[in-house]
Amino acid sequence: MAQQVEEATTNPAVKHVLQFFRYDHLPQHLQDVSKPFADLALVVAKASSNQETTVSLRKLLEAKDAAVRAHLIQPIAG
């Protein structure tokens, strides 16, 4: 993903947020959840490079984190 980030933008603020979309360190089942968010983050970063870009990436990051956590939650025994 590092090469894709370099190609996506030169904006340091955007690059900073994009680093958190890496997923290669995750187990495969969580990579499957995280990858679509990373792909969309690169699309957003390539499309524009302004303050709203970083806002949208941060909100997408929040959604990605929630989706990954949703796959980690253990059922509560009742």
Average pLDDT across the chain, whole number: 93
User: What is residue 39's predicted lDDT score, i.e. its pLDDT?
Assistant: 96
Going by pLDDT thresholds of 50, 70 and 90, the confidence category of residue 6 is: confident
Q: Look up the pTM and report it.
A: 0.89
Residue 8 lies in a domain: yes
- Per the domain annotation, does 34 fall within a domain? yes
Provide mean pLDDT across the span 26-45. Answer: 96
Which of these, 23, 26, 31, lies nearest to 1 by C-alpha position? Answer: 23
Domain membership flag for residue 76 = no
Which residues form the domain of 57?
Answer: 2-70
**Mean pLDDT computed over 30-55:** 96
Domain assignment present for 75: no
With a cut of 80, say whether residue 5 has pLDDT above it: no
Look at the chain and report how many structural domains it folds into: 1
Q: Is 59 domain-assigned?
A: yes
